[in-house]
Amino acid sequence: MKKQKNKFVLAEASVEDINKQLKINMLVIVVLISMLVLNTAQFMKDYSLLYAVLIAIMAFFLFIMAKSRTLLTMRKQALTK
């Protein structure tokens, strides 16, 4: 039988786990920002409704990732005290 991989649970995470998640979070934020810039440039070129919707979706995901990064840093500060 295969052993199931544990999911990331913030309340049970160690500082190393949080640091790993912060690195992943930063990578996702960089990808989202680059996609947002590319969609914005394409929107300015074409004025398409599709790119406007994609910009809104990317901005929403960027907001969610920024909030999760804030939660991770707050948890890391609480663990290091």
C-alpha distances (whole Å) from 2 to each of 5, 7, 52 are 9, 15, 45
Q: Which two tokens stand for residue 70?
A: 């804030």
Token digits of residue 30? 């960089």
Instruction: Answer for the pair 36, 56: CB distance below 8 angstroms, yes or no.
Output: no
Is pLDDT of 75 > 70? yes
pLDDT of 20 strictly over 90: yes
Domain ranges across the chain: 14-80
Across the chain, mean pLDDT equals: 91
Is the overall model pTM greater than 0.95, yes or no? no
